[in-house]
């Protein structure tokens, strides 16, 4: 038993040894809000734009099924809820994580965790992957690399769900607060390249109240970037 101190998230947990992708299964199942799908390994883990997410045994790969009754413009903020939850969880392990807009958590500028949110009907699937005891791919990092030892995956799972539950309660009452909290943890004031429809270079100055990236271009002009299909690279 997990004995979770949560009110919505993790009321039901469905565990698989191996799965295609926790997000895909979460999308296909008819389950109550807060249900968590977790797997030891994913054979078809995905990032955004169908990029591959490497998910061997030893990492934490999960998806939470949410059914938030909020305004449509508040749905994209759920990705920040996930990122803050990961940073708070890492903090409990004495690891300082920062958010790379919009959907990654980095430690020492290496990716330790990625978040993938997907909306299907009334459901929003919050997918979270964290490198814990697994070997992280090149340019990534795992909890075990930072701490120099392995940690209990169940412990990390539990504190993550508790953090997410607390943040979800805040989100439902005040989605804007989630953006504010994410802003405090975000890597800002750094030169970046935004790849998507073409390429834009500038300083990632801030995020606005809707979570858009505020980019200052070389000529001083400000451009706001919606997170949809763009990728950010630090320069
Ligand atoms: P990006 O960070 O390029 O915007 P995504 O957020 O969609 O892309 O994440 C997918 C990318 O994350 C992959 O292309 C790969 O570079 C990287 N990646 C895949 N698996 C892992 C992992 N387990 N840990 C860290 N990084 C990973």
Mutate to test the pocket of ligand 1, among 49, 51, 100 (most ligand atoms within 8 A of CB): 51
Compute the distance from residue 75 Cα to the ligand 1 centre, in Å. Answer: 22
d(CA 33, CA 180): 25
Q: What is the pLDDT of residue 50?
A: 83
Q: What is the pLDDT of residue 228?
A: 79
Compute the distance from residue 3 Cα to the ligand 1 centre, in Å. Answer: 32
Which residue's CA is the nearest one to ligand 1's atom 10?
A: 47
pLDDT band of residue 144 (cuts 50, 70, 90) is: very high
- pTM, two decimal places: 0.98
pLDDT tens-digit map of 211-228: 999 999 999 999 999 987
pLDDT band of residue 197 (cuts 50, 70, 90) is: confident
Mutate to test the pocket of ligand 1, among 53, 55, 86 (most ligand atoms within 8 A of CB): 53
């Amino acid at each position: 038993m997990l004995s979770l101190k949560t009110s919505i998230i993790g009321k039901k947990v469905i565990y698989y040894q191996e799965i295609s992708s926790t997000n895909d299964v979460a999308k296909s199942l008819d389950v109550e809000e807060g249900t968590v799908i977790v797997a030891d390994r994913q054979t078809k883990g995905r990032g955004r734009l169908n990029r591959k997410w490497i998910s061997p045994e030893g990492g934490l790969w999960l998806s939470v099924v949410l059914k938030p009754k909020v305004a449509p413009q508040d749905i994209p903020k759920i990705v920040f809820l996930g990122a803050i939850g990961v940073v708070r969880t890492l903090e409990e392990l004495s690891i300082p994580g920062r958010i790379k807009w919009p959907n990654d958590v980095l430690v020492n500028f290496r990716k330790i965790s990625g978040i993938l949110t997907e909306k299907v009907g009334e459901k929003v699937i919050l997918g979270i992957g964290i490198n814990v005891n697994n070997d992280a791919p090149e340019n990534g990092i795992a909890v075990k690399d930072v701490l120099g030892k392995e940690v209990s995956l169940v412990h990390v799972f539990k504190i993550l769900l508790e953090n997410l539950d607390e943040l979800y309660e805040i989100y439902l009452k005040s989605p804007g607060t989630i953006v504010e909290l994410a802003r405090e943890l975000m890597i800002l004031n750094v030169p970046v390249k935004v790849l998507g429809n073409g390429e834009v270079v500038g300083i990632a100055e801030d995020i606005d109240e809707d979570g858009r990236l505020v980019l200052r271009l070389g000529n001083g002009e400000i451009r706001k970037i919606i997170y949809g299909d763009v990728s950010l690279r630090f320069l």
